[in-house]
Amino acid sequence: MNRLLLLCLLCAAPSLCTATRPADTLRTAARYLIDDDYLADPAARVIDGRLWVYTSHDRVSEVTDRTDGNHYDMRDYCVVSLDPNDPHGAVERHDAILTLDRVPWASRQLWACDAVRRGNTVCLCFCARDREGMFRIGIARSDRPEGPFTADPEPIPGTYSIDPALFEEEGACYLYFGGLQGGQLQRYRDNRPLDEDRFPAPGEAALPARVARLSDDLRSLAEEPRPVAILDERGEPLRADDSHRFFEAAWIHKRGDTYYFSYSTGGSHLICYATGDNPYGPFTYRGVVLTPVVGWTTHHSIVEYGGRWWLFHHDSTPSGGISSLRSAKVCELEYAPDGTIRTIPGGRP
């Protein structure tokens, strides 16, 4: 049996004020979820009163071609769980909840995933390349959060690109997705495929993530995907050469009446966020959640449990900096009284 770490989430100070503490300290130290394997792209969800963290599963691959992220050659998903009422409790791991050979339409690369309970069914939303090499988004189903999951025979019609994230409100479920370069978002305009990559020029508006409401059973889109606009302080879209523009790893959470849209910036290696007043946006850029980590990619989720907010993310420190061997970790996320998020140091020297 794999040796598991305790998720040592230290007790918090009673005040939310961050002004009196140094900028490079955390109220709760970051901790890796496990120490004997490589779990990446953590999507944290509270399901049935327990915290579940769904992850992709990095491995040492025979693929050496790094073009468009081909060396991120994941073949299965995992989930770890812990009791939200006992933040000092042990982590429980569940392996191979869905494997590549059990997805009829997929050819390779099980990248990031997310999950949600819909009635009696827990739905795992994931992305993979289809038989033509294009990324699609699919659903797998189980009657338990820990799986195993059975994939639908086809991907969700009309979906494309990578990094699905789900958001539920008032019975509706919204799908956010998209990623540039290896994630193929630049191969689409107005939800239609192009014959070749088309990146915006410097100074032009950046390519945005997409959002669409799903059908109740999550088998189809209830509407055409819309762009998720991120605006600057003047109300203009962030530009393609802005180091804070969207690249991949969309996530959304709601605190009070505010919707927080967070994402990875790719080459500048940041997790940034923007805020809005509805799930579709537009969102106004606010700042940096996480500075660069060790490794190229940065991918995260944000969840509330135990009366506090937590940032799950990954880095490549345990593998000695190998970008395709990443380890999921968690630390507390803090808000200032005005609702802004306190920047967390990622640890890159």
Average pLDDT of the segment spanning 39-68: 94
pLDDT in tens, 256-303: 999 999 999 999 999 999 999 999 999 999 999 999 999 999 999 999
Rounded to whole angstroms, how far apart are CA atoms 194 and 337? 45
The yes-or-no answer on residue 143 being catalytic is no
* Candidates 114, 146, 248, 334; catalytic one: 248
Flag whether 302 is in a domain: yes
Flag whether 187 is in a domain: yes
Q: CATH number for the domain including 47?
A: 2.115.10.20
Average pLDDT of the segment spanning 78-98: 82
Rounded to whole angstroms, how far apart are CA atoms 20 and 11? 18
For the chain, how far is it from start to end, CA to CA, in angstroms? 34
Poorest-pLDDT segment among 80-84, 185-189, 225-229: 80-84
Flag whether 225 is in a domain: yes
**For residue 148, cis peptide bond before it (omega within 30 degrees of 0):** yes
Query: Contact at 8 Å (CB) between 110 and 56?
Result: yes
Rounded to whole angstroms, how far apart are CA atoms 175 and 164? 6
The yes-or-no answer on residue 86 being catalytic is no
Average pLDDT of the segment spanning 242-259: 98
Say how many domains are in the chain: 1
Flag whether 8 is in a domain: no
Range of the domain at 234: 31-333
- Token pair of 143, please? 């009657």
Closest CA to 228 of 266, 267, 274, 196: 274
pLDDT score, position 139: 98
Half-sphere exposure (CA, 13 Å, Cβ side) for 104? 9
Flag whether 349 is in a domain: no
pLDDT score, position 16: 25
pLDDT score, position 171: 95
Q: What is the pTM of this model?
A: 0.92
pLDDT score, position 92: 93
Task: Answer whether residue 18 shows pLDDT above 50.
Answer: no
Amino acid (1-letter code) at residue 232: D
Flag whether 6 is in a domain: no
DSSP per residue over 212-269, as a string?
A: EEBPTTSSSBSS--EEE-EE-TTSPBPBTT-TTS--EEEEEEEETTEEEEEEE-GGG-
DSSP character at residue 67:
G
Query: Contact at 8 Å (CB) between 155 and 135?
Result: no
pLDDT score, position 306: 86
Average pLDDT of the segment spanning 12-37: 57
Flag whether 1 is in a domain: no
pLDDT score, position 4: 36
Average pLDDT, the chain: 91
Flag whether 10 is in a domain: no
Residue 146, helix vs strand vs coil: coil
Task: Answer whether residue 62 shows pLDDT above 60.
Answer: yes
Rounded to whole angstroms, how far apart are CA atoms 326 and 100? 19
pLDDT in tens, 316-332: 999 999 999 999 999 99
Task: Answer whether residue 116 shows pLDDT above 70.
Answer: yes
* Candidates 41, 58, 163, 334; catalytic one: 41
Using 50, 70 and 90 to split pLDDT, how confident is the model at 19?
A: very low
pLDDT score, position 6: 31
pLDDT score, position 25: 56
